């Protein structure tokens, strides 16, 4: 072919992390077929959905059987019943939202990747280490990237200290994947104040808000002027176990404007052009998950994951191993013992304890020397892993 391609893709690194991990595990299994491998590397939920959520999905599917209740294309921005459920969910946590600021999505990843469509050629500030989608989607659009470096000194919670006063686009993720670190109200206020002062936009990823156990903000809109500076992207994937069902929501407040141009209007236009909505049964399932009964049922699952988290964090506390996360997050981010590099520790755990985790360097160069474990395994397997780590570390 002779067409021109998007050369920005040349700047996007191939992601070898999980294929590399699988390759190493498979090689080990070949030479040690008897090994009982425990996987604490998965970033995906494992518990089944609460019955009332699946019932809502089935009931909605049945509506397609009858001429009277059959539905065609859903609204591009989501059915009002689900947008209202999102508004109520926020209200329950003490935050007021305008119904028109809510956009239903097929998950946070799509919107996080697509938001670049409505933004111009800004300098982009991205935490490192972090969930890779912010970086890769901006690289694909040829943006200039700057890192907000996370380290032990700032507890993997970079702050705006030292940044210039130019307007910029800033990505924040709290609770963070992979570090589990969560901004408290004061820290988040520093970011909102900075964005307000400089005319910057924050894209705030709250996909793990439901895991928050302390009084850290569950939404950036808890902070005064939050709606003047931030788009919030969230998901039912982890809150309600919807990774396979696919549903999320994005809040684009009416207050977000540049001159007389409204970001809300631009996002509406973008979605109406390139997105045809989320399927009706999925939106009914999401509505059920966000109801009082649904929230309770989902919380039971989150509490089960938390039991696993607690086993791991107690172990690392006993062993004096530095870690972040674990309280407000299904992720525990630990410093590799004996100054091992991330992949060295991966291999060490695989060979000495038959445990698989995720090397921190896979989330950015500043993750080197760290390691992510998750609480999404079964209780039985997590206990097994803790026993082995107790002896090994």
Binding site for ligand PLP (CB under 6 A): 43, 107-109, 131, 173, 177, 205, 207, 235, 237, 243, 248
For residues 254 and 250, what is the distance between their CA atoms, to the nearest angstrom?
A: 13
The nearer residue to ligand PLP, 90 or 249, going by C-beta atoms, is 249
Nearer to ligand PLP, 109 or 335 (CB): 109
What's the CA gap between 42 and 375, in Å, rounded? 9
Of 173 and 212, nearer to ligand PLP (C-beta) is: 173
Residue 146, φ and ψ in degrees, nearest 5: -125, 145
> Cα 55 to the chain's mean position, in Å?
26
State how far the Cα of 182 lies from the Cα of 118, in Å rounded to an integer: 28
**Residue 43 or 74: which CB sits closer to ligand PLP?**
43
Query: Residue 43 CB, nearest distance to ligand PLP (Å)?
Result: 5
Point out which residues pair with 373 in neighbouring strands. 332
Distance in Å, CB of 208 to ligand PLP, minimum: 7
Q: Supply the minimum distance, in Å, between the C-beta of residue 263 and ligand PLP.
A: 20
- Output 107 or 226, the one with its CB closest to ligand PLP: 107
Task: Give the Cα separation of 201 and 301 in Å (integer).
Answer: 34
Find out whether 106 and 235 touch, Cβ atoms under 8 Å: no
Q: Which is nearer to ligand PLP, 155 or 347 (CB)?
A: 155
Instruction: Tell me how far apart the alpha carbons of residues 212 and 371 are, in angstroms, rounded to a whole number.
Output: 21
Complex with ligand PLP: residue 41 or 393, whichever CB lies closer: 41
CB of 351 to ligand PLP, least distance (A): 28
C-beta of residue 182 within 8 angstroms of C-beta of residue 212: yes
Smallest distance, Å, CB 118 to ligand PLP? 19
Q: Read off φ and ψ for residue 378, nearest 5 degrees.
A: -75, 160
Q: Tokens 């410093």: give the residue.
A: 335
Query: Shortest distance, CB of residue 138 to ligand PLP, whole angstroms?
Result: 15
Rounded Cα distance between 343 and 358, Å, is 9
Q: How far is CA 67 from CA 55, 72, 276, 278, in A?
A: 21, 11, 22, 21
* Residues 6 or more apart in contact with residue 170 via CB below 8 angstroms: 124, 125, 148, 191, 195, 200, 201, 202, 203
* Closest to ligand PLP by CB, 109 or 218: 109
Residue 328 gets which letter from DSSP?
S
* Distance of closest approach, residue 113 Cβ to ligand PLP, in angstroms: 9
């Amino acid at each position: 072919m002779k067409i021109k391609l998007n050369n920005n893709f040349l700047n996007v690194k191939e992601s070898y992390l999980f294929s590399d991990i699988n390759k190493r595990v498979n090689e080990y299994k070949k030479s040690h077929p008897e090994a009982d491998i425990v996987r604490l590397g998965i970033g995906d939920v494992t518990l089944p959905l609460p019955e009332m959520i699946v019932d809502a999905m089935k009931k909605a599917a049945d509506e397609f059987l009858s001429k009277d209740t059959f539905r065609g294309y859903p609204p591009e921005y989501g059915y009002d019943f689900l947008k209202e459920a999102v508004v109520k969910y926020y209200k329950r946590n003490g935050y007021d939202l305008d119904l028109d600021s809510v956009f239903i999505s097929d998950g946070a990843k799509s919107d996080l990747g697509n938001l670049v469509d409505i933004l111009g050629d800004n300098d982009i500030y991205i935490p490192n280490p972090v969930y890779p989608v912010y970086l890769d989607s901006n690289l694909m659009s040829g943006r200039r990237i700057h890192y907000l470096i996370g380290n032990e000194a700032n507890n993997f919670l970079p702050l705006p200290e030292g940044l210039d006063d130019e307007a910029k686009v800033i990505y924040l993720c709290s609770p963070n994947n992979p570090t589990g670190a969560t901004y408290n109200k004061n820290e988040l206020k520093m970011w909102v104040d900075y964005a307000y002062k400089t005319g910057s936009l924050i894209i705030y990823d709250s996909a793990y808000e439901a895991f928050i156990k302390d009084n850290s903000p569950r939404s950036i809109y808890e902070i005064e002027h939050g709606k003047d500076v931030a788009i919030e992207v969230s998901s039912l994937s982890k809150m309600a176990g919807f990774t396979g069902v696919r549903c999320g929501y994005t809040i684009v407040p009416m207050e977000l404007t540049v001159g007389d141009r409204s970001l809300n209007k631009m996002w509406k236009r973008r979605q109406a052009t390139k997105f045809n909505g989320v399927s009706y049964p999925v939106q009914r399932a999401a509505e059920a998950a966000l109801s009082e009964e649904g929230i309770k049922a989902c919380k039971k699952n989150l509490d089960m994951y938390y039991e696993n988290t607690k086993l791991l964090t107690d172990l690392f506390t006993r062993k004096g191993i530095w870690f972040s996360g674990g309280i407000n997050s299904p992720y525990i981010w630990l410093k590799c013992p004996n100054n091992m590099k991330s992949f060295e520790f991966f291999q060490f755990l695989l060979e000495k304890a038959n445990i698989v985790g995720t090397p921190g360097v896979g989330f950015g160069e500043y993750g080197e020397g760290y390691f992510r474990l998750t609480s999404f395994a079964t209780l039985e397997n997590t206990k097994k892993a803790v026993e082995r780590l107790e002896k090994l570390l």
